[in-house]
Structures are given as structure tokens and as C-alpha cells.
Chains A and B, each alone.
Chain A
Amino acid sequence: MPNEIIHANEPGSIVVDDVTMTFNIAKEQFNSLKEYFIALTRHELKFKPFHALKNVSFTIEPGESVGLVGTNGSGKSTMLKIIAGVLSPSEGRVEVNGNIAPLIELGAGFDRELTARENIYLNGALLGYRKEFIDENFDRIVEFAELQNFMDMPLKNYSSGMVARIAFSIATITEPDLLIVDEALSVGDKFFREKCERRINELVNSKNVTVLFVSHSVDQVKRVCDRCIWIEKGDLRMDGPAKEVADAYANMKR
């Protein structure tokens, strides 16, 4: 489609148009003014450009469930962060429409000194939930996480699995327009992992939620997603039906 600009007009749609992400890796890391100015005056500020993503384009329609695969360091997480809006691309255009529930590093937005109850409100606010909505759905969140008896305990006493339970529960208590799952399901016990996968499947099957799913488990991608995008060393290698792409990725010759 030459010269035709596609926009993400409907909630849940994503347009990634010719995105390049370049990190300038400084040969040295400057953390102090002194070092920086010394290097600056000696003309020793050298940067090595590193392309985490190279001219990647794809469009995701509302309700699609898309798996993102690739070897470590291929740019999957960079792509997710760009879509989640925390990183802006060096070149190209990204449009994301709708409310995003990011399940990236579960529990990253929590304060370990606060109780679970207080964290649910804090995290809900960060996701953009209304206060009244959290009030009404508080019990459902706690129930899904199965942590009814631990609500007034500071989070520092929680295990990482318990934290993950709460984070997952908050983010999926309602249907976001876009759910981003970044290997989140690797924490937590077997039962909760299965429960999370069931919940994600529910959201996928509702067709109201666009799901973007990063996993190293090819089987999981095949189970959850309809479509799969394979990013390898910053290049878009393959984009198509989940089974086809996931199998191609699994059979890749190193």
C-alpha cells in the first residue's frame, strides 16, 4: 500500500508503520557531570548505534490475538514497550487506540511498603480505572487472586507469585481494549498459571479484546493466539497464522 496512511481508528487496533528503534550505546557510561565534560572536551563521546528494530510494520485489528516470538534480544520487548507507550520509536509511527492493560513485569507498579489493598487502588489508578470501578470490583479482584486473607499485609511480605496474582487480577478484571502479556505467566504456581491462561483465553474468545502475547513457549502461542509475528534480530521475519509461524520459528536452524 504505497503512500496510504493507515490509522488505528477503532479501540483495540494497533498500527505499527515502518518502526525503527535505535539505541545509542555509549562506549562508556557517564554518570557524572565531570566525566561527561571531560569526555566532551576531549571529543571522546563515542556512540555505537544499535538497531533493536529495523523498519518493522504490521497492523493489528480489534479482537485479534497475536503472539510475538523471537529469540532473546530480538526486539520483542522493545516492540511491546513501544506499543505500550513507554518508549517512543526513533523512526516510524505507532498508533494504538483504546485502553491498554499491560502485563509487563507483573507487579512493577506496586509499592512494597503498602498493603495489598492500598496497592490495588494505586495500581488501578495507574491503569486508568475509575475509583468507583475499583470500589465496586474490589472483591472480585481479590477473589480471582485467591488472597482474601492477605489484604492488609504489606506487599513486602508477599511472595513473587502472590504479587503476580494480584497484578494479573487487577489488569484483567474487566475487558481492556488491548491486553499486553509479556511472559507474565511464567511466575506463579501451576494452578494459577492455568487459571491465567484460561482467563486470557476468555478474553481472546470474547473478541472484544486485542491480545498481544509474548511467550517462549511455542505451544502456548499456538494455544492462545490466532496469529503470530516473528521478530528476529530486529527484523520482521514472518507474520501469519499462529500455527504456521510458530512452527517455522520452532524449526529455525541456528
Chain B
Amino acid sequence: MSQNTATELAPKKIKDGDAWYPTSQRDMFVVRQLVTKDFKLKYRRSVLGIAWSVLNPLLMMLVQAAVFTRLMVRSDTSIPNFPIYLILGNTAWSLMSDATRQGMESIIHAQSLLKKVRINRWVFPVQKVLFAVVNYTFSLAAVAVVMAAFGWTLSPWALLLPLGVLYLTIFCIGLSLLLSSLAVFFRDVIHLWGVVLTAWMYLTPLFYSVSILPDWMASIMRFNPMYLYITFIRRILLWKMAPGLLVHGGCIGFALLMLGIGYAVFRKTEDRFILFI
């Protein structure tokens, strides 16, 4: 084929099998491209780049450890290592808050695309959650640094970590599907969610222990999904024990429940998105 003039680029008939993915396989490539895009843009023109994903949780942990160590170590002596306790909670919390914050606005931000190309709309909230998971994996390097600093060893229970992250991811996908569809119809949801996240963060034992809470609060804590996910991760990595049937079951239950609700709302409303974005 001559390449001299562009019009001579003859229409090369490439049949479906060569040029296009079958419809069912397209979404994965799109999701991968979008996650890559977010990743590149997040650290473009930043000197430390990806190191921020590691530094951020480390710095946060240092501040909290400096402020709360004396308070906590006195009130709950069962915490084997407070800095590790902190960083495990913070990173898992950031995964959820980053995922839902960005997932919530994903449909609104993808408006120009949604008006142009036929594409499965769930791709956008799911992609944002997966991007948050990628960041979480990098922040695990910070966890490793802290563990190494204290000479912390891992037990075989640590192998359950991917499972815990998977549950949390499913939970976040459900929540993001729900929030992204609500945000399309009512932009207030975006502001409201900021408030909810802050309140929820204080209600989750990230930098304190559940044992300092009054009994009634401690007893409803098992209905706080984030408490369950964080407990799962802390138990296998910090206490080096089994997550426990109740916690494990709760993690799965909340993940499936949230996914079910999110999916149902999303499916019911997605055809009307285009009229509101």
C-alpha cells in the first residue's frame, strides 16, 4: 500500500474479528484505558509522582500517632502496635472515600462521552473505584514501610488481604453506582456526601479503639460496614488472627447488599441520565 498521499490509504476491509472486540469484551479495554488515564493525569508534572501515594498515608499516620498515641495506648492496651493500627485503618478508609467521591461524579464528568458513544454507563463509576484500588495497592507500600520499621512479621492470615480488599471493592462499587445515579438527578448529593463522609469517619474507629465507646455505640458498630472491613484487615495483619465468622460474614453481606442496591438503582435510572447531564 502506498503511503505517499493519505487518500491512497485504501479502505482496508478488516472484518469484525480483527479490528473490533466483540461487544462483550469492549468494557474491559475501556476500563483499563480510563484507569491508565486517571493514573497518568494524577501524577503528571509532579516531581515525586507516585511516591505521593506512599507518602500521603505515612504523613497522616505520623501526625495521628503523635497526637493520639498516649491517649489510646492508655485506654486500650490490647492494640499491639498503634502506628500499624492507624495506617491500616486510614488506608482502607481512603480507599472507600476516594472511590465513592470520584465514583459519584463519574457520570456527570463523562457527559460528553455519554452523549456521543454507545457505551455501558456502569464503566465510569466502576473505573473510578478500580482507580482507588490501584492507589490503595500503592499505599500498601507505606504499610510495609511502617511494618518494617517496627520489625513486624506477617502470619499466614495475611494471605486473606486480597479477599478483604475484594469485599471492600465490591462494597465501593455498589455505593458508587448508587451515588453516581443520584448525583445526576440532584447535585446536592455531592455536597451531602462530603458531610456524610466526615461524620462517618468520626463514627468509625480509625484513630480510636471501639473499646472507648459507650456500650450502646459499640454494639451498633457491627452495622457500620467500614468498621467491619477495617476490622477484617486489622485482624489478619495486626492481630495475626482469623477475621472471625461474624466479621467475615458481615463484610460479604454488606458488599452484596450494597452492590444489589446500587445496581438496581443504576439500572432503573441510567436511561434518563442523558436528559440530566
A105 to B115, CA, bound (A): 9
Of B13, B117, B271, the residue contacting A84 (CB under 8 A) is B117
- On whether A129 and B11 interact (CB within 8 A), knowing A109-B112, A118-B40, the answer reads no
Whole-angstrom distance from the CB of B117 to the nearest CB of chain A?
Answer: 5
Closest chain A residue, CB of each to CB of B41: A113
Of A86, A130, A143, A175, the residue contacting B6 (CB under 8 A) is A143
Whole-angstrom distance from the CB of B56 to the nearest CB of chain A?
Answer: 21
Interface string of B105-135 (1 = CB under 8 A from A): 0000000111111110000000000000000
Q: A195: CB under 8 A from chain B?
A: yes
Asked if A108 and B6 make an inter-chain contact with CB atoms under 8 angstroms apart, the answer reads no
Q: B149: CB under 8 A from chain A?
A: no
- On whether A102 and B116 interact (CB within 8 A), knowing A113-B41, A129-B20, A199-B7, the answer reads yes
Asked if B6 and A125 make an inter-chain contact with CB atoms under 8 angstroms apart, the answer reads no
Asked if B11 and A99 make an inter-chain contact with CB atoms under 8 angstroms apart, the answer reads no
Q: B216: CB under 8 A from chain A?
A: no
Asked if B118 and A36 make an inter-chain contact with CB atoms under 8 angstroms apart, the answer reads no
Stretch of A65-73, A200-208, A220-228, A241-249 lying at the B interface: A200-208
Residues on B with C-beta less than 8 A from A125 are 26, 29-30, 32-33
Asked if B188 and A84 make an inter-chain contact with CB atoms under 8 angstroms apart, the answer reads no
Interface of B is mostly: helix
- On whether A105 and B6 interact (CB within 8 A), knowing A131-B29, A203-B11, A206-B13, the answer reads no
Stretch of A27-35, A53-61, A211-219, A232-240 lying at the B interface: A27-35
A143 to B19, CA, bound (A): 18
Residues on A with C-beta less than 8 A from B215 are none
| B-contacting residues, A89-107, CB 8 Å | 99-100, 102, 104-105
Q: For the side of the interface on A, what is the size category?
A: 35 or more
Residues on B with C-beta less than 8 A from A30 are 186
Residues on A with C-beta less than 8 A from B32 are 125
Q: A44: CB under 8 A from chain B?
A: no
User: Which residues from chain A sit less than 8 Å from chain B, CB to CB?
Assistant: 11, 23, 30-34, 36, 81, 84-88, 99-100, 102, 104-105, 108-109, 111, 113-114, 118, 121-122, 125-131, 133, 140, 143-144, 146, 174-175, 195, 198-199, 202-203, 206, 208
User: Which residues from chain B sit less than 8 Å from chain A, CB to CB?
Assistant: 3, 6-7, 9-14, 16, 18-21, 23, 26, 29-30, 32-34, 37, 40-41, 44, 112-119, 186-189, 271, 274-275
Q: Apart from A118-B40, A129-B19, list 4 A-B contacts with CB within 8 A.
A: A81-B115, A84-B117, A86-B274, A113-B41
Query: Top 7 nearest A-B pairs by Cβ distance?
Result: A85-B118, A125-B33, A108-B112, A108-B116, A33-B188, A174-B19, A128-B26
